[in-house]
Amino acid sequence: MRRHTAAAHENHERWLVSYADFITLLFAFFVVMFATNQNDRHRAKMVSDSVRDALEHGQVSSRLSNVLGRGKRDGKAADHAAAVTGPQKAVEEETHPADLTGSLEVLRQELSAETHAGKVQMQLEGRGLVINLREAAFFASGDDGVAPGSYPILAKIAAVIQNLPNQVRLEGHTDSIPIHNSHFRSNWELSSARAIAMMEVLATRYGVVRSRMAVAGYAENAPADTNETEEGRSHNRRVAVVLLTAEGQKAEPTMPARKSP
């Protein structure tokens, strides 16, 4: 008996491949449009990086494959890998220091007037982003009280700190002229007290988590300028807010992992 060969089943769903690719490109286009219209460039960059990471690591394409019915076994394996590595990646992003180049540019734009006036000075070092807050703009002479007039400056710095996972070190510095008044017996006490006062403002007024911060007092032992002139001494009287890099954090004690809220 002659056998009849069954006709091959025609795939009527191949149009879904082109449709899915179009939707993916359309989604990426709207994300880019959204990012370019944001005033906060740092947040916009975070959004763009997140979308690019999703596209490059297959988290979007694997789900499209499942919808189209292609590579079901591979799609399940990819979803399983994403489920396993997703939380780990989130922890790494939370605990590993971020690159600080973008944050430096944000602060340069936000604090351009203050920098020009000599109130703030910033530089990127191997240990981190160092933001020097000059005494004249933030403290009265010989005192550790943070001047309320400096709060708008600190608000901009705190906003950058809140957008980063980096640990923060607050360093107090003085000039070489000894101090001895009713509040402080030495420059060691004054420099330490100012670092603590700055930490308290960042924590209580702007919500920076205390466990992210450390304080240190260096007195006159780490000058930024000469102590032979009044201008040089004014540069040395400062509190440095240091956003630590991975290299900078190696010198710090190991901090316990922060629990998710």
**Top-level class of domain 101-249:** alpha beta
Task: Please enumerate, as own/partner, the contacts of 247-254 that have beta carbons within 8 Å and a separation of 24 or more.
Answer: 247/126, 247/127, 248/97, 248/126, 248/127, 248/128, 248/169, 249/97, 249/166, 249/167, 251/127, 252/167, 252/169, 252/214
Q: How many Å apart are CA 55 and CA 174, to the nearest integer?
A: 51
Q: Are 190 and 238 in contact (CB under 8 A)?
A: no
Cβ atoms < 10 Å from Cβ of 24 = 14
Domain boundaries, the chain: 15-95, 101-249
Q: Tokens for 43, please give them.
A: 């947040």
Q: What is the pLDDT along the chain (261 residues), one digit of tens a residue?
A: 555 555 555 656 666 777 777 788 777 777 667 666 655 555 556 656 665 655 555 444 444 444 444 444 444 444 444 444 444 444 344 457 788 999 999 999 999 999 999 999 999 999 999 999 999 999 999 999 999 999 999 999 999 999 999 999 999 999 999 998 889 999 999 999 999 999 999 999 999 999 999 999 999 999 999 999 999 999 999 999 999 998 888 877 766 655 544
